[in-house]
Structure 1
């Protein structure tokens, strides 16, 4: 798009010492062509957006006719009027013409030195054509780029990144609640871009699906398809040129197409939550980045108590990968909906193939126990799961610790079956007890060495002779060293059970009447269970 101000900046016109004497507000108006004419009734020959060049030699004498001349140009949408002083008006343009142009917002420019009008038309036409060609080329580049992104199944962050690169300006993708789903500051300050985003964005509502807000300088387009919009793509602080409009609309179409083609993909909001949780756990994002992005998403994390929660699915394994993905997606959305219904502020997203992470953000008046109890109770009616919570932390830099603790407790709870969380509906570190501790240490070579040292000979004996002495030992220890109860539990007569128990003592070289020996063997059996799982 070429405007009047662009033309006045050309060397050929600057040589004429141009002076804007009226209609300065219209200098951003589009110039489609330049027309040279001395006719006093040129307006009917124009179709709009022309810049008229004249010496004024044929201008009417009386003031009313001069005003009518300016009105006629404004009525047909002329871009402006350039009058060369000297031939008709030596020093200044008539006041009647100046007042009429100012009243109608028609840019009126006086040239104080003579210029070759033909050279002006050549320069302006070259500028207009080159600009149009550049816009056409940029449109073609946008079309090709976003077609490739759509075919590749690129996510929202990739699309937004391309828009920022091609526009050379910051870009934000938001949902209908004006929460930021993805953004690229284009090398600028993310803090300045996102600070108070929701409040600022709500104040910008240009008409139509795509619109430029003059007051804020924002270019905005709706994102969605089939009459169902789900967000907006925003170029804040831009100038609203045509090529940026085309770029933004093409990107919005790519985002909408991606949603239509991939109905099974998790929501963009869940993707953003998952990215933040992953960034916390892997250190991929700095604390300030997480705080900034979470705040823009409507989840403040700074100056609040944070509790990591892990929800791990129970039940049989899905028969196919797609089924597993669908199951996890549904479970994640169910958890996110429950969090919202409970009025909790939290990041909620999938962490692995079977777990959902929740980073609960508690305000000064929120009670931790009540929040966790309420969440566990509300989730109880859904798919089977294990819920574990880490210790609360008072700073965002410690959020990783509470999330990791929740994951470890959940892992131990799933495999160790502790009893402490049954009445409450979820588990915490004190609940996992010895079984949980051994499960957490199951990959430690020292634990595995301990198992082999304590009960390795018995395992080898069973393997070599086809006996089940390890089962006898387990029954004896599980029944609190009560031989009669253990015999019943093993479905053996007492003499037979006692005989096998003596064989266990011989193989291991221990006295099962000693409490310490039995304690060591019991720990080894629990560790064996953890290692085998």
Structure 2
């Protein structure tokens, strides 16, 4: 028997929270749960799979604008989240009326937790029940996937393959291209299209009962499978069976409609850029991939464990923000090109960096966005600089805000001085320069195991803002001033207002990447 939202509200771990339904109470009675998750991140929707009860505290919502709060509700609803529970208290005394109205309109059950409970305990207890329930659903889903494979092996059409899935899940099933063109569809046996429409009479979609699954062919996102769950059918079974059917559907699509020439040309273009192909060849390949030879674009390098979901999320982000994009996955590295709108180059690039950060923080990958390239001939340079940024961050990650760690998005523009020094000076010259500028401070750090070089770098990165640097270093302002006075005494005085400031800043940025060499020359 499926675990429903009302069952969870009566569970012993959640009743101490004194929960009350503030919106979509009629929907709550029939809402099935797949998982319970907690997060304070407002941009969490793209990282959820649907069917979750999302628990959140009120701090982030209290600080957000009213527009962002209602947008948060709609994003969760469109993702198919089962329900949202908000803990009210000192930061957020009550749920804003605008959020309640948005949730009611979206059909998203909205719960208020009027007392504090440990979210971890709630998730451990209820997710263990959901795991037990899912074992049977997995078995049924695997049986459906096997039956679909048999149908395909016997030459069944896409409609017939989907009919197996429709019967197994009791859902209307539609397979469409990324452009929205329907390729095939099926209804459960005994149902007609008119008997129970997927959309309500008012035209609104019940997002919690729509399951969307992306289907990729040879690594190229090619179609979307949608299951419209009918009546009291098990939503979680439909979700699992839909996910389990992806490989079968990808094979069916490959037999009937292999990846389009544009997608194949895009992959070939990125491989050519990566291999250092001559400019004239790139100008030949670009138009076939839908990229003008003179387009402004950026290269993106993503390094991860090779998750298919990572590529899907990155591709969806670039489809939304960029004018056009192509991508290519090679083992644990994903390479992408994003074409920017000519009248909003920096705005597009900033949006790409921000969007990647929201994905990376959840999926744990590290990536770099290269500088803007003017024309396809300059794309190899953008890719090279993105890769160089990853290497520089890996070398100095522990001394540069942890940028070498997983879950980070690196902006090549933030490493401009390091990249310039790497290209212009060999390691010996870089080492000599750093010793000339910071020799006394380096010796002081080595003798006392202090962090004066890091303090200097963070202070200079902040624009010599002492208060901001102190916050980043978790220091009292008095301690920060004492460190600065020691630094000034070692480097010949306060550098502000002198020509030494830029040289000290460059040396401080280079020092973490030359630690081994500097130690050897000491």
TM-score range (shorter-chain normalised) is 0.3 to 0.5
TM-score (norm 2): 0.35
Larger radius of gyration: 1
